Amino acid sequence: MALLHIALLANLKKNAPQVPGMPTDYWADLDSSSTIEAIADALRQREHRVTFLEGDVTLYDRLREVRPDICFNICEGHWGDSRESHVPAMLEMLRIPYTGSKVLALAVTLDKPMTKRVLAYHDLPTPAFQTFERIDEPLDPALTFPLFVKPSREGTGIGISAQSVVHNAAELREQVTQMLEAYDEPVLVERFIDGRDITVGLVGNLVPPVARRLPDDEDAPRIIRGLRFLPPLEISLGEYSHEEGGVYTNRAKTVLADQLAYFCPAPLSPGLVEDLNWLAAATFRVTGCLDVARVDFRLDASDGDRPYILEVNPLPGLAPGISDLVLEANAAGIGHAELVNMILDEALTRYGMD
Ligand SMILES: Nc1ncnc2c1ncn2[C@@H]1O[C@H](COP(=O)(O)OP(=O)(O)OP(=O)(O)O)[C@@H](O)[C@H]1O
Ligand SMILES: [Mg+2]
């Protein structure tokens, strides 16, 4: 007898709506059928019954028919400034439990500038920044070149290439114009952090009660209880061709994914790993993440590898053998199926369904 009826909710690349003139990387963050099959297999290994449902406009009615016990949600969404929140919002209206972060956390973290405002409020280190909603906005004099230009609400390196690093006002205007035209959303311009690319995955939930306000006192204990940190992964940027410009680009994440060059665990001092884990936990906490997340950092080579938080991914990719989180789990001896079930177990515990 099946233990639970789980609806696996995702947006498949092959089902994505197509609009003429769309940039080629527009749907790069959606999932492939092989990832969905691997997740479904993982859940079935625990005797659960699994039904895949596409997270599109038909989902609400389908959920009312299927009435799953819980959903394993990895929907990235299609449209709008809070697209990752659409499916969780439906699930809350229908009072169906689901894995991972909820509506507010998914809306905030999809928007990188909004996430950075939350981080800055808590004195968590994130590169200085400005957003551009129009091409003619004056550059904040506090920002000095080189700068990094990226879309505000994308993932999988969408819009990110060697040209994202800009060295003067002309390059900045050119890149901001292109990003505004291609993605029709505010453009994030950040201080360029020259240094190593590190990402930290974590599974779990902080043990309550946990306030969203971090203590001002630097000597306050670092709250991390309930979280399991996976070994940090470093993208070996030096091994990619000059075309990528020392940046973890969309091309590197998609076309060149099978040549992914990385170290895991990243060669870092134990003290730095502890600091990164704490920063990842603090980011998870103040943005309200649940069950799983991956926090991306750059280490500033000009300042003793000082870590800067670039973003938090509450729906990190789960492609076997490809996604950073899966590679980190593997380095800790955790296979894909076990990772998927760890995420499910966290949600079941939260809902008192274990
Ligand atoms: N301020 C910055 N300074 C230097 N490099 C940066 C900066 N911001 C981004 N990058 C580079 O671009 C890459 C992608 O940035 P970011 O993590 O913000 O994008 P993403 O598309 O959301 O990533 P993901 O695939 O994790 O969703 C980083 O890994 C890094 O190589
Ligand atoms: Mg990233």
Pocket test for ligand 1, best of 248, 250, 308 (most atoms within 8 A of CB): 248
Q: Are 283 and 214 in contact (CB under 8 A)?
A: no
Pocket test for ligand 1, best of 111, 126, 296, 308 (most atoms within 8 A of CB): 296
Q: Measuring from each residue's beta carbon to the nearest atom of ligand 1, which residues come in under 6 Å?
A: 127, 148, 150, 154-158, 160, 190, 192-193, 197, 247-248, 253, 296, 298, 310-311, 313
pLDDT at position 25 is 84
Alpha-helical regions (H) of the chain: 33-44, 59-66, 86-93, 103-110, 112-121, 169-183, 250-253, 270-287, 324-331, 336-350
pLDDT at position 153 is 96
CA dist 168 and 160 (Å) reads 18
Q: Residue type for 336, please?
A: H
Q: Which two tokens stand for residue 259?
A: 């040549």
**β-pair type (233-235, 197-204):** antiparallel
SS3 10: strand
pLDDT at position 215 is 86
**How far is CA 107 from each of CA 53, 116, 164, 264, 271, rounded to the nearest angstrom?**
22, 13, 24, 30, 32
Place of tokens 């998927």: 340
The CATH code of the domain at 108-125+194-350 is 3.30.470.20
pLDDT at position 164 is 98
- Which ligand sits nearest to residue 28's alpha carbon? 1
* Domain span(s) for CATH 3.30.470.20 in the chain: 108-125+194-350
pLDDT digits (tens, 9 = 90+) for 73-107: 999 999 999 999 999 999 999 999 999 999 999 99
Give pTM, 2 decimals: 0.96
Index of the ligand 1 atom closest to the CA of residue 157? 21
**Strand (E) or helix (H) holding 219:** none
Atom 15 of ligand 1 has which residue's CA nearest to it? 157
State in Å: Cα 248 to ligand 1 middle.
Answer: 6
Index of the ligand 1 atom closest to the CA of residue 195? 4
- Which ligand sits nearest to residue 125's alpha carbon? 1
* Domain span(s) for CATH 3.40.50.20 in the chain: 5-100
State in Å: Cα 297 to ligand 2 middle.
Answer: 8
State in Å: Cα 54 to ligand 1 middle.
Answer: 28
pLDDT averaged per 10 residues in sequence order, the chain, 354 residues: 88 92 88 97 97 97 98 96 97 98 98 98 97 96 98 94 97 97 96 98 94 86 94 94 92 88 97 97 97 98 98 98 96 98 98 94
State in Å: Cα 353 to ligand 1 middle.
Answer: 37
State in Å: Cα 336 to ligand 1 middle.
Answer: 25
The CATH code of the domain at 129-191 is 3.30.1490
pLDDT at position 2 is 60
State in Å: Cα 144 to ligand 2 middle.
Answer: 23
CATH 3.40.50.20: does it fit domain 5-100?
Answer: yes
State in Å: Cα 159 to ligand 1 middle.
Answer: 10
Helix and strand numbers (H, E) in the chain are 10, 13
- Which ligand sits nearest to residue 150's alpha carbon? 1
Pocket test for ligand 1, best of 160, 188, 255 (most atoms within 8 A of CB): 160
State in Å: Cα 119 to ligand 2 middle.
Answer: 16
pLDDT at position 1 is 47
Other beta carbons less than 10 A from residue 65's beta carbon: 7
* Domain span(s) for CATH 3.30.1490 in the chain: 129-191
